[in-house]
Chains A and B, each alone.
Chain A
């Protein structure tokens, strides 16, 4: 018991223990603990575990070295391993084991693999300022969903529902969670509209652009996109796309992102036209 207590109080073994606990928390903890509370989770990608472990190691090193006594005690086992006569076997073993481990890790990184290389993927590609929809120029910045100011909302939602269930459900799923019947065939997976990081962050004009132009209409920056989204302007009318956009927000329970009022609009809420100032923004921006 005393040995265990001494062991637990020694900064070196505290550091080792913290390192192991951190690793387990990031790999096993994040994966298995939330489901115990009925919260969805999944394995953490290796890149993120690596990042977390870097932070954990920095934290642990700061912990052991921010106090002089603790730092000296921490270094004792390391120092003893490096210089003590009775530890020459351990020293020799480490001399072999450390390069072998490093070599193995390097080999694992460098060996040819059959899987596709890991990609950095931007989830929100930047939209162009203007698009052409079936020959009609549309200024995306400041553009609102025109159906919200005309006709019956219920009719638009009914129409959006029809469009969704005829065209989108196979990939984006019945619950709009990106888990449609064909979803498993795509990488990256179809967008999950119930996630607060997708349409909840965007204006309706942005979603209109994505639906209308699909994968082929994505900007050149950040390529390759690997998007299987069709160019829906070839199959749907403008109103059909606006109605399905409205349906997505209604069903997912998100409010579309609104356009922030420009300084001119704030000064002039009635909407009366003002002469353009030389430094006026190019177009109303969104946040």
Chain B
């Protein structure tokens, strides 16, 4: 009885004055929404500048105005998005100080200096953005343009540094340094040790890539919105092209994201087995099935968009017959990837299976099958990009056929390596099997790299089979871009919950216990509802920002009207109404 009383007394001491109350969703729900929506906006304002600075550079180097215009258009959205990010950040801060005062006091005790640096950088970042945006016309030519581009680079540097600091705080909650207690850090352990903890670098890399993906997806969704609302063929052409560029950046960066995520998972596992198993084999393992379904949607949408886009490219007809086989492969891989190991079944079904594992489909439930499936999906998506790029080109280099054969061989070898290690993985012990994923990933990355290099040389001076008819894109393709953006956003919320939820009843893992009434892992249905709410809030605000973007553009046109709606930059072929539709058959 005495130990129980002591525990009770401890709980009362820990809880008194430690938590505030929030009506309706409760303290945890309020912090959840504020943190998630803030994070989504933060990803927006970090991802889009990456996009803007890359496209501006392409514009400077290629002297192609349309890239500069694209970059400028996105920077305009950033100005609004920064305010939203700051507002949600303030809401998160107020929520933490009022609803979790004891926990927040612990965090400020350890990280106070970094918090001041964070705020200062945010300040500098905002003013760099204003200079970048409002100085666009002033520094448009010559050396001034390079100075302007330098501002864009600085904007990214500040933004990334801000992200690195915040990542230090949240990863500290997962993997605090040895010896940390609820009272603070032990002697000899500095704030830097708390920031540069065991999972800091992997999450930095993962988020950096994810932000680029997210930026591309949001850009594509904006373009889709403007495409559907376009009044003139020029507008349609411009936003069709913009959607393609956004999708290209989103998917090409997305291809490497699973590898970074795998590394993060591995580091979490290595830091603490319990967190690792909760994440991959325990309660949170169901999220990975949901994730597999969603990532399958992403791959399918990305490919679908490209295949639809091929209809507006002269010469693409020769590749169209292959797309149905690529689709079949993607579907088979999607099925394999999303097959649960432990199945949800009725009592009768469990009896007929002899347990929660299906005697035949069981083979698809383990990592060997899943790694194989995802790597083959990546290869297939890369192949879609390749044929899309090549569709209207006719190589003039004498070794074009040999080069293409080598590229084909690279695909075959990469697929063979992936399949070999996928199958071999069933015959070796777990610790060896984990190492196989490195060979599979390596083969896929080498293939992507090798094929891209050859393709760059094959495409040198290539003859055109005809201009891409920008704007002549079916409207349903634009909904695929919306689905991409929504799915990416939902995935961010979902996997963020997985990463955060594995701490279970700890504010800071094994350092500071959560003694609030919310110290339980929420059911998946509740979590899904909360994530959907965050996504809905974020996307509604983003839709408002998109609308504001259009409004601001109309306002500028009112001052200097274009003769035919939105000016179409040079280099874009416009599809006029009545032009012959291109069918794949």
Contacts and interface: CB of A to CB of B under 8 A. Distances in A.
A95 interface: no
Interface residues of B, number: 89
A126 interface: yes
Interface string B329-350: 0110011001111111111111
Interface stretch (A80-88, A102-110, A193-201, A230-238): A193-201
Given A55-B335, A70-B585, A201-B430, A126 B274 contact: yes
Given A47-B345, A127-B274, A129-B274, A221 B281 contact: no
Contacts of A54: 293
Contacts of B342: 121-123
Contacts of B354: 42, 178-179, 189, 192
B232 interface: no
Given A129-B272, A197-B366, A276-B178, A48 B429 contact: no
Interface stretch (B128-136, B141-149, B189-197): B189-197
B357 A197 contact: yes
B341 A197 contact: yes
Contacts of B190: 278
Contact of B344 (A58, A118, A279): A118
A276 B178 CA distance: 8
B327 interface: yes
Interface stretch (B36-44, B235-243, B303-311): B303-311
B277 interface: yes
Contact of B430 (A42, A51, A115, A257): A257
A71 to B, nearest CB: 8
B429 A69 contact: no
A197 B274 CA distance: 18
B283 interface: yes
Contacts of A221: 278, 282-283, 504, 521
Contacts of B360: 30, 34, 39-42
A54 B354 CA distance: 26
B269 interface: yes
B434 A287 contact: yes
Nearest to A263: B270
Nearest to A52: B335
Nearest to B185: A278
B352 A42 contact: yes
A222 B272 contact: no
Interface centre among A62, A184, A255, A286 (most CB of B within 10 A): A62
A101 interface: no
B344 A47 contact: yes
B205 to A, nearest CB: 17
A209 B196 CA distance: 33
A287 B524 CA distance: 25
B474 A189 contact: no
A55 to B, nearest CB: 5
User: Contact residue range for chain A?
Assistant: 35 or more
A34 B8 CA distance: 57
Given A45-B343, A124-B277, A187 B338 contact: no
B218 to A, nearest CB: 23
A238 to B, nearest CB: 21
B357 to A, nearest CB: 6
A262 B273 CA distance: 12
Interface in A130-175: 140-141
Interface in A255-287: 255-258, 260, 262, 276-287
A46 B327 contact: no
B310 to A, nearest CB: 9
A120 B524 contact: yes
Contacts of A55: 293, 296, 331, 334-335, 338
Contact of A286 (B177, B198, B276): B276
A15 interface: no
A19 interface: no
Contacts of A195: 355, 357, 362
Contact of B197 (A62, A63, A71, A279): A279
Determine which residue in A42, A54, A128 has the highest number of CB atoms from chain B within 10 A of its CB, and name it: A42
B347 A116 contact: yes
Contact of A188 (B193, B286, B355): B355
Contacts of B314: none
A30 to B, nearest CB: 6
Contacts of B582: 68
A260 B270 contact: yes
A67 B584 contact: yes
A282 B188 CA distance: 17
Contacts of B161: none
Contacts of A122: 281-283, 285-286, 342
B429 A126 contact: no
A40 B434 CA distance: 27
Contacts of A128: 274
A258 B281 contact: no
Given A260-B270, A285-B273, A58 B177 contact: no
A77 interface: no
Nearest to A183: B354
A255 to B, nearest CB: 4
- Which among A56, A124, A284 has the highest number of chain B CB atoms within 10 Å? A124
A43 interface: yes
Interface in A9-64: 30, 34, 39-48, 51-52, 54-56, 58-59, 62-63
Contacts of B583: 67-69
Contacts of A127: 273-274, 277
A117 B355 CA distance: 16
Given A120-B344, A279-B197, A287-B269, A42 B178 contact: no
B581 interface: yes
A285 to B, nearest CB: 4
B123 to A, nearest CB: 30
A62 B584 contact: no
Given A68-B581, A120-B524, A187-B350, A282 B272 contact: yes
A36 to B, nearest CB: 12
A217 interface: no
Contacts of B344: 45, 47-48, 118-120
A2 interface: no
Contacts of A189: 350-351, 354-356
B573 to A, nearest CB: 19
B275 to A, nearest CB: 8
User: Lowest 6 CB-CB distances: which A-B pairs, in order?
Assistant: A124-B281, A255-B429, A41-B360, A45-B345, A285-B270, A126-B278
Given A222-B283, A282-B178, 4 more contacts: A126-B282, A128-B274, A221-B282, A285-B270
30 contacts: A34-B360, A40-B359, A41-B358, A41-B360, A45-B345, A45-B358, A46-B345, A48-B343, A48-B358, A51-B293, A54-B293, A62-B327, A66-B327, A67-B311, A67-B320, A67-B583, A68-B474, A122-B282, A123-B357, A125-B283, A126-B277, A179-B354, A192-B354, A195-B357, A260-B431, A278-B179, A278-B193, A282-B510, A285-B271, A285-B273
Interface of A: 30, 34, 39-48, 51-52, 54-56, 58-59, 62-63, 65-71, 115-116, 118-129, 140-141, 178-179, 184, 187-192, 195-197, 200-201, 219, 221-222, 254-258, 260, 262, 276-287
